[in-house]
Structure 1
Amino acid sequence: MEKVRLGIVGCGIAARTLHLPALKKLSHLFEITAVTSRTKEHAEEFAEMVGNPRVFENYEDLLDSGLVDAVDLTLPVELNLPFIEKALQRGVHVICEKPISIDVETGKRVVRLAGNSDKTVYIAESFRHVPAFWKAKELIEEGKVGEPVYMNWQIWVGMDESNEYVHTDWRRNPKHVGGFLSDGGVHHVAAMRLILGEVEWVSAIVKDLSPLLGGMDFLSSIFEFENGVVGNYTVSYSLKGNDRFEIAGTKGRMEIFWDKIVLNGKEIEVHHEDSYQKEFEDFYRVITGEKKNDLGDPLEALKDLAFIEACVRSQGSRVSVSSLL
């Protein structure tokens, strides 16, 4: 099996704590051959964690080196579009951290770039690789709750000074719509859409509760899926609480957890897997031609972002999600 030569671009939290552990498990598929970051010091520190990749002082030199077949972009969101474009211009595949871009309009440009290239643009949405969400989808399609009627997801992140994401400059001064609301929220939208399909409209209130976090940090919404299921999605990045994810239907109810689903009071165990490892495995299969880019499709990532942008725009009014696309 031929290894893909991978360049790491951006050596921050996601690259260090999420991507690198997954890639180390996939050393039979990927070889990290090149590294670059905002500062050479960060790149050199990351390179020591990897082994012996070549360190580059800038992105362009890395792309032109002939050492990479693909790049892994873990960057401030506003850099996604220009960095994806440069990689495609040089015939290099891309796996890029979500959200796809700072807003839907620039995200559309990423979708067009991907559509016009014979190279892969894979938006790394880890929640599309979580087994519990796929199991929930399967159970609903099997009619285990009857016709689904209502979905409720409450998420209480409760970030404080001890959270390293709070101290990231580009998160404290976000250029991406809604700040943490889109940075984390596209994960949640990806899961909801995977399980229940496309969202038709949304009405929401957003608030800025914490001076510690950049931009808005609270969102509460009501919306309707195209299949008629009514949803409530509430998330706070500053308030603490107990999360709850449930779906009610005409014949029952389920609660969704990371490692199990409680269906009508009965626990169904779900094997928890490393979703970052799974997304890199999927990326490998896509760029080697084994499968289509279904799970990393930029259009799917754009739809995730469109839901959040619709919420931010709403101010309590109903907004059609498709109107943004």
Structure 2
Amino acid sequence: MVGIALLGAGIFASQEHLPAIEADPSLELKAVYSRSQKSAETLASASKNASSVDVYYDSPAVAGKSLDDLLRRDDIAAVAVVLPILTQPAVIQKAIKAGKHVLSEKPVAADVDAAKKLISWYDSLGAGAPIWAVAENFRFIESLDYAATKVAGFGGKVATFRLQKYGFVRAEDKYFNTAWRKVPEHQGGFLLDGGVHFVAALRLLLAAAGQEIKQLACFSALLEERLLPVDTVNAVAVTQDGKSGTITMTFGTEFKSGLEIEVVTTSGAVAWTPTSVRTVTNNSASGERVEDTKEFLYSSGVKEEMVAFSQAIGAGKANPLQTPAEALKDLEILQGLLKSGEGNAALTQI
């Protein structure tokens, strides 16, 4: 059994990472860390084995209770880092230097330059370094995996594609009322924090057809003044084979909501939502149109990604869906959308 610590006591850490760790029989939660004693103790008390989970924090300063003290423990082999975007890179480095395997929340860093520097530093450590995996839970959603299998199975060449995400972040929303999201110091605000999920999902489906996005032209906007700096992007994206599609993501549309990604090839079409996959193709014998919809129970994919991480520790190698390089590609596209939007649809190479 692998001893693991949860670093971060925010909403996603408490509601997703904590139960995911406790659901994996190969992991044992040894400790939690947060900036404040109160938040760390609140998180630890939510554990099924609260009495055996040690608490670490920065404020107030107490001897033996710092993050450095946690990382010195020999019985903790791994950490899950679920901290604000700008805080994560330094903690990732500190944990890896301490010899801990790391699963860090997406995005891999706040911007592409910072991500490349962090990845370059990690790569310089060589083959004996602890595992560093990036948690992009969408890549582990069952319905998305099924959709990717369908895209690959249909074959053919990509004709077009679309990503449509509509939503509205209300003033009372629990995520909006997280200080670092309410007054973001990172690019894109909610578009970086949440949008990278949807980019990852689109990339997974396009990859099933052998395609990657290489060019973008995007318009961006701020529809809801609270959601600085921008909350909406509308873009045309082009793959290496010159096939174009559209990307729409917004967190500022009160009267329209939903997430759907569709990939259309010369052999069929696959439309994905988190709870359904709709396919359209032709019967190979009769040539008649065949349509099918498969329904799924909603799953965040966090439990599955935690299992992938624990299995990677056992195998001594990160899961291909969790490599920092894979997460960097998500960030490159998201940043490309934002940069193109700043230039009023300036053509951006990825």
Q: Give your verdict on TM over 0.5.
A: yes
Please show how residues 106-117 of structure 1 align to structure 2 within 5 Å.
106-117=114-125
Indicate conservation of the 8 Å contact 2:136/2:327, yes or no: yes
Indicate conservation of the 8 Å contact 2:205/2:263, yes or no: no
Corresponding position of 1:81: 89
Indicate conservation of the 8 Å contact 1:97/1:125, yes or no: yes
Corresponding position of 1:317: 346
Identity %: 28
Question: For the residues of structure 2 that align with 1:158 and 1:274, how far apart are their CA atoms?
Answer: 19
Indicate conservation of the 8 Å contact 1:34/1:67, yes or no: no
Q: Secondary structure at the match of 2:235?
A: strand
| Residue of 1, 7, 20 corresponding to 1:22 | 20
Q: How far is 1:229 from its partner? A: 3.0
| Residue of 243, 256, 271 corresponding to 2:272 | 256
Change (3 A) 1:104 1:211: same
Amino acid at match of 1:206: S
Indicate conservation of the 8 Å contact 2:20/2:302, yes or no: yes
Question: For the residues of structure 1 that align with 2:132 and 2:42, how far apart are their CA atoms?
Answer: 27
Size of the alignment, in residue pairs? 317
Q: How far is 1:173 from its partner? A: 2.1
Corresponding position of 2:314: 288
Corresponding position of 2:99: 91
Amino acid at match of 1:75: L
Indicate conservation of the 8 Å contact 1:22/1:274, yes or no: no
1:299 aligns with 2:325: yes
Corresponding position of 2:73: 65
User: For each residue in 1:126-154, what CA deviation from the matched residue of structure 2 results, as whole angstroms up to 9, or x when unmatched?
Assistant: 0111122222222222226x432111121
User: For each residue in 1:245-289, what CA deviation from the matched residue of structure 2 results, as whole angstroms up to 9, or x when unmatched?
Assistant: 222233433321223211123213456555101100000111111
Question: For the residues of structure 2 that align with 1:136 and 1:311, how far apart are their CA atoms?
Answer: 25
Q: How far is 1:161 from its partner? A: 2.0
Corresponding position of 1:187: 197
Q: How far is 1:174 from its partner? A: 1.8
Corresponding position of 1:210: 224
Q: Secondary structure at the match of 1:215?
A: coil
Indicate conservation of the 8 Å contact 1:310/1:320, yes or no: yes
Question: For the residues of structure 1 that align with 2:312 and 2:90, how far apart are their CA atoms?
Answer: 22
Question: For the residues of structure 1 that align with 2:37 and 2:75, how far apart are their CA atoms?
Answer: 18
Amino acid at match of 2:223: L
Change (3 A) 1:214 1:32: farther
Question: For the residues of structure 2 that align with 1:260 and 1:162, how far apart are their CA atoms?
Answer: 29
Corresponding position of 1:125: 136
Indicate conservation of the 8 Å contact 1:222/1:230, yes or no: yes
**TM-score normalised per structure 2:** 0.86
Corresponding position of 1:177: 187
What 5-or-longer segments of structure 1 have no aligned partner? none
Q: How far is 1:112 from its partner? A: 1.7
Indicate conservation of the 8 Å contact 1:171/1:214, yes or no: no
Question: For the residues of structure 2 that align with 1:181 and 1:303, how far apart are their CA atoms?
Answer: 16
User: For each residue in 1:79-129, what CA deviation from the matched residue of structure 2 results, as whole angstroms up to 9, or x when unmatched?
Assistant: 111111111111111111111111000011221233233111111000111
Q: Secondary structure at the match of 2:305?
A: helix
**More divergent stretch after superposition (222-231 vs 175-184):** 222-231
**More divergent stretch after superposition (130-139 vs 311-320):** 130-139
Q: Secondary structure at the match of 1:106?
A: helix
Larger radius of gyration: 2
**More divergent stretch after superposition (258-267 vs 154-163):** 258-267
Question: For the residues of structure 1 that align with 2:299 and 2:251, how far apart are their CA atoms?
Answer: 25
Question: For the residues of structure 1 that align with 2:30 and 2:121, how far apart are their CA atoms?
Answer: 25
Change (3 A) 1:110 1:293: farther
Question: For the residues of structure 1 that align with 2:308 and 2:338, how far apart are their CA atoms?
Answer: 32
Amino acid at match of 2:40: A
**More divergent stretch after superposition (255-264 vs 71-80):** 255-264
State the superposition RMSD in angstroms.
1.8
Amino acid at match of 2:68: E
**TM-score normalised per structure 1:** 0.92
| Residue of 141, 146, 170 corresponding to 1:160 | 170
Question: For the residues of structure 2 that align with 1:274 and 1:24, how far apart are their CA atoms?
Answer: 16
Corresponding position of 2:46: 49
Question: For the residues of structure 1 that align with 2:98 and 2:269, how far apart are their CA atoms?
Answer: 50
**More divergent stretch after superposition (190-199 vs 265-274):** 265-274
Question: For the residues of structure 2 that align with 1:291 and 1:90, how far apart are their CA atoms?
Answer: 18
What 5-or-longer segments of structure 2 have no aligned partner? 58-65, 281-290
